[in-house]
Amino acid sequence: MSAVIQIKDLSFSYGANGKPVIQIPHLTINKNETVFLFGPSGSGKTTLLEILAGVITGQGDVEMLGQKTQNMSLSQRDQFRSEHIGYIFQQFNLIPYLTLRENILLPFTFSGKKMDQALYDKVVTELGLSEHIEKLATQLSVGQQQRVAAARALVAKPEIILADEPTSALDYDHRENFLKILFSLVKAQGSTLIFVSHDRSIQNLFERHLNLADVNAVKV
Ligand code: ADP
Ligand code: MG
């Protein structure tokens, strides 16, 4: 088993004098693991994913695929994310003035990766986005926007997928379709998955159940 994510003595606060939100002495996630990350609202799940994605940085060691993100500049972290990480943001982070197609293809704008047309077609179809593909992201319902965010995170075959409550706005059928394609891609590509959710009904799909409270010394 090889470590894909390795955290040592990580701490993070919002603002210079803020109280720490995250204090994690040690956490390792191995290649191919599927992790169901849970914990109460406000316990730092989104903050942790943003640190792993290099959107923000804390103090201490965060090693992603053998590279320490704290040693990278902001643009190096952006580059690293576009090449290696598929991130389904809790608030989606779609670009409002771009179409669905353009939003989904964004990872290819920032990385040298080549698009796999068959995979793109499959993801767009199975997530039920085909008929809306030329609409602007702002012309969609919340559930549709969440499916676009999911599609964008999957099309570039990332080694690491970080999904922040990615089914919160999906109805039953769309949730099932999303989970099916997510797990089939994770398996086919050998990706590592961290999936934040409050939905205990799906936790058995995941190999590892990680309660943030068990690794984070900051208690809420
Ligand atoms: P979760 O995703 O588990 O609900 P978050 O990581 O969003 O938790 O938040 C953890 C803590 O950090 C909360 O107390 C929240 O209020 C605080 N927090 C989150 N984002 C910010 C921010 N941008 N500025 C200041 N505090 C924040
Ligand atoms: Mg959150």
C-alpha 167 to ligand 1 mean position (Å): 20
Quick: pLDDT tens for 68-89.
999 999 999 999 999 999 999 9
Residue 169 maps to a domain: yes
Residues with CB under 5 A from ligand 2 (ion): 45-46, 90
44: Cβ below 6 Å to ligand 1? yes
Mutate to test the pocket of ligand 1, among 10, 12, 14, 197 (most ligand atoms within 8 A of CB): 14
Does the pLDDT of residue 1 top 80, yes or no?
A: no
C-alpha 81 to ligand 2 mean position (Å): 19
Quick: pLDDT tens for 19-63.
999 999 999 999 999 999 999 999 999 999 999 999 999 999 999
Please tell me the pTM assigned to this model. 0.97
**Nearest-10 crossing angle of helices 142-154, 172-189:** 10
Compute the half-sphere exposure of residue 9: CA atoms within 13 Å on the CB side of its CA: 3
Residue 149 maps to a domain: yes
pLDDT at residue 124, as a whole number: 98
Residue 146 maps to a domain: yes
Q: What is the mean pLDDT of residues 172-189?
A: 97
Quick: pLDDT tens for 84-104.
999 999 999 999 999 999 999
CA distance 162 to 166: 9
Residue 220 maps to a domain: no
Residue 47 maps to a domain: yes
Ligand nearest, relative to CA of residue 50: 1
56: Cβ below 6 Å to ligand 1? no
Residue 159 maps to a domain: yes
Quick: pLDDT tens for 111-142.
889 999 999 999 999 999 999 999 999 999 99
Atom 10 of ligand 1: nearest residue by CA position = 44
pLDDT at residue 16, as a whole number: 84
C-alpha 46 to ligand 2 mean position (Å): 4
Question: Do the strands 34-38 and 192-196 form a parallel or antiparallel pair, or are they unpaired?
Answer: parallel
Q: How many domains does the chain have?
A: 1
Ligand nearest, relative to CA of residue 168: 2
Residue 167 maps to a domain: yes
Ramachandran sector of residue 163 (left: φ over 0; alpha: ψ -120 to 50; beta: rest): beta
Atom 22 of ligand 1: nearest residue by CA position = 14
Phi, psi of 82 (to 5 degrees): -70, -25
Domain CATH for 166: 3.40.50.300
CA distance 171 to 186: 22
Residue 55 maps to a domain: yes
Q: Which of 148, 159, 140, 135 is nearest to 105 (CA)?
A: 148
Range of the domain at 169: 3-215
